[in-house]
Structure formats: structure tokens, C-alpha cells
Amino acid sequence: MTATLPDRLASNPDSPYYDEELLAKGIGIRFNGAEKTNVDEYCVSEGWVRVTAGNAKDRFGNPMTIKLKGKVEPYLKSQE
């Protein structure tokens, strides 16, 4: 079974790119060849990921994120 992963996916439930069913399956992200475990959102076509910046929070209590540009490779963890 081959699953097509979306071009853009977010882990924040308030985002329009959030997909609970897909996230429950387990998505892994390789960014510039390195495994990233703190990815909040990614976009393959634009080539960026948003990663959490430590324990910092914004004024609404959401985690602060940093946008990094590079090669993004999402995959299903069950297909490793």
C-alpha cells in the first residue's frame, strides 16, 4: 500500500492543513537529510519546515516556531 502524503501538513489543530487521521499513522520528516522530530508544519513544494523553538511560547500560549528552508522529505514511519 502506497500512501500519498500531502504537500503541506501541520500538527496544530487550528491550522487548515491539519489532518488528524494522517498524523495518527505517524509521519516522519527528513530535512536536508537529517531526521527532525520537532517539526510543527512542513511544505514540500516551497521547501520549508517550521520547528519549535525550545520551550518558548507566544502571548497566546502557542509554541514559538522557526521557519527553516531546505529539502523536505516526509514519509510514513510504518514504511521505514
Supply the pLDDT for residue 2: 46
Q: What is the pLDDT at residue 38?
A: 92
| Intervals of the chain under pLDDT 70 | 1-3, 79-80
Please tell me the predicted confidence (pLDDT) of residue 80: 56
- Mapped onto helix, strand or coil, the DSSP state of residue 63 is strand
pTM for this prediction: 0.84
Phi, psi (deg, nearest 5) at residue 21 = -60, -45
Beta carbons of 29 and 42 less than 8 angstroms apart: yes
In angstroms, the CA 50 to CA 4 distance is 21
Q: What is the pLDDT of residue 3?
A: 62
Q: Characterise 50 by phi-psi region: left (phi > 0), alpha (psi -120 to 50), beta (else).
A: beta
12 close to 41: Cβ distance less than 8 angstroms:
yes
- Length of the chain, in residues: 80
